[in-house]
Structure 1
């Protein structure tokens, strides 16, 4: 069977106008790579510049897609990201922001409206995949009149590229034990399957109490221990690992930062961020702004998720919890 042809002309909206992309990064080499990738993806580069050009002057017309590399944002950059987030939410523009793990909480806190793709220390392959996801998910997009089946095929291809990039990155890293994954690098797509949704209505009966936090932490410890002897990818279940971590935190009356939750997920931060977005949309996680610092945000279990977790633990029984 012939391979699908994805060498399309300039991507266009429903009216046939080329999609424009704005690129802002301080690194000249990175800007060049981004421009090449944008062009290869069939998009049109409207402008490219460093962060100072984005920060300085009055508001400017920006592209439908805005790529920003902001590894260590200062106060001015944070303010600009917040304004950019608001503009994108109102205009429908799509944001892709790359940053460092150290600045993840700050960047996440600045972007509460537009649901951007946030990439953490990304490889070039991850940036390309982010563009592919935008093309596959953007409604009313004309890519040489792609059919819906073609669009799904494109999305699956981006997932496959992510898996390949992950393995190539691992092969290029040294120092990991037998059967274990080397640190860093590209992510794997593990989004919930089509049609996934949280249960809408829970049985109306008194909710049992959540279990002791120490017991939940013991379960988490046991799950993490498997990674000492096997490749952790064999057991990757970020949604469940994050649910467990937030359950323990709720019992302990502790707040969980985005960075901490990404670590608890057991998958690379970029993958974890996509999962967090999915769980927020499903009504299982709540984003809670920090009253003391509006630039920060925390993630908590929603009441619906807490109810479901309490009933789950009551269902499996205290006598077998330690074996979970």
Structure 2
């Protein structure tokens, strides 16, 4: 007898089954997304291509919106921007899959709805994304799971825990009453006579980030290890992200999401989770392109840049040293 791994229907506080909107141009992907959402306990509200949805009458979004956008056409990006606005206002949860080629354009469409963005995902990654949505639903009941399912959930939980733990260690302080990983802001003290002059001198003496050539040398040395050892031994996406952004800051260059995912040295979907966590932790900031509102870059926050400068000063990185 085959075990049934389907979830019970997901219901809101009023007892109504939650719904899903499935949008994908690729027929086989759309069919998989629909099937997986049904198995997870959602009721399908809409299931069609992006073009059909854009040209149809304005309909209410599902509680979960699953989108597959493989090609960043103007019409597709316009629809994604609409979904971001509507999803942000309605509180719908979005899971958006795309390709590496379209990532920058797709990422730039979302600023309100905080979607899960998956890059070239397999079916298993989409299922995990649905599971992350289900984890936020109260009073959710699961049918009995097999041992393989239990192990997969355990590994996923451990991975998320490691991300949170490592991010917390990166942050030097936490504001009272604020969320985890946040930097502690110094209090504004009363300034005595001459305080302004002392502050100016202290500002001049503050450590600065090393030159871009130094940082690029450090990054190159880190990457060289992968030619001699298993890359997984040295996977440290948070640090690689910080180094790449520090070098770009020294070069006065903007960093796209696609470039940062490559620099992280892990699969793009994993890198996006790290970037999202680090933005939430105020380690990084999202910077909109003033010439194209649909495009966004990632940069170090000022506090993070200061922390990195102090770190490099403390370990004595003043020339082409290797870390």
Match of 1:192 in 2: 164
Contact 1:99 1:121 in 2 (8 A): yes
Contact 1:132 1:155 in 2 (8 A): no
Correspondence for 1:264 = 263
1:216 maps to 2:215: yes
CA deviation after TM superposition for structure 1 residue 318, in Å: 2.4
1:273-306 superposed Cα distances (whole Å, 9 cap, x missing partner): 1111111111111111111111111111110100
- Give the direction of change, closer, same or farther, for the CA distance of 1:55–1:155 in structure 2 (3 Å limit): farther
CA shift in 2, pair 1:96/1:159, >3 Å: farther
Per the alignment, residue 35 of structure 2 pairs with 36
> What are the equivalent positions in structure 2 for 1:84-95 lying under 5 Å apart?
84-95=83-94
TM-score where L is the length of structure 1: 0.81
Residues 13 and 142, structure 1, Cα contact 8 Å, conserved in 2: no
Alpha-carbon distance, 1:320 to partner: 9.1
Aligned partners of 2:167, 2:272: CA distance in 1, in Å? 20
Return closer, same or farther for 1:71/1:7 CA change in 2, 3 Å cut-off.
closer
- Secondary structure at 1:263 match in 2: helix
| Preserved CA contact (<8 Å) 2:167 2:278 | no
CA distance in 1, matches of 2:150, 2:41: 15
1:238 counterpart residue number: 237
Please state whether the residue corresponding to 2:312 is helix, strand or coil: helix
Cα 1:90–1:159 change in 2 (3 A) is: farther
| Unmatched 5+ stretches in structure 1 | 147-153, 164-187
Change (3 A) 1:199 1:249: same
Query: Do 2:104 and 2:296's aligned partners in 1 also have CA atoms closer than 8 Å?
Result: yes
Offset at 1:156? 8.2
Aligned residues, how many?
288
Q: Partner of 1:296: helix, strand, or coil?
A: strand
TM-score, normalization by structure 2:
0.82
Q: 1:156 & 1:313 partners in 2: Cα distance?
A: 40
Pairing of 1:1-324 with structure 2 (within 5 A): 7-136=6-135, 138=136, 140-144=137-141, 157-158=152-153, 160=155, 191-193=163-165, 196=168, 197-198=180-181, 200-201=183-184, 206=203, 207-318=206-317, 322-324=321-323
Taking a change above 3 Å as real, the CA distance of residues 191 and 198 of structure 1, as seen in their structure-2 partners, is same
Cα deviation for residue 142 of structure 1 reads 2.7
SS at match of 1:59: coil
User: Which consecutive unaligned segments of at least 5 residues does structure 2 have?
Assistant: 144-148, 169-179, 188-201
Deviation at 1:38, TM superposition (A): 1.2
Change (3 A) 1:59 1:7: closer
For residues 91-112 of structure 1, the C-alpha deviation after alignment (integer angstroms, 9 at most, x for no partner) is: 1001111111010000000111
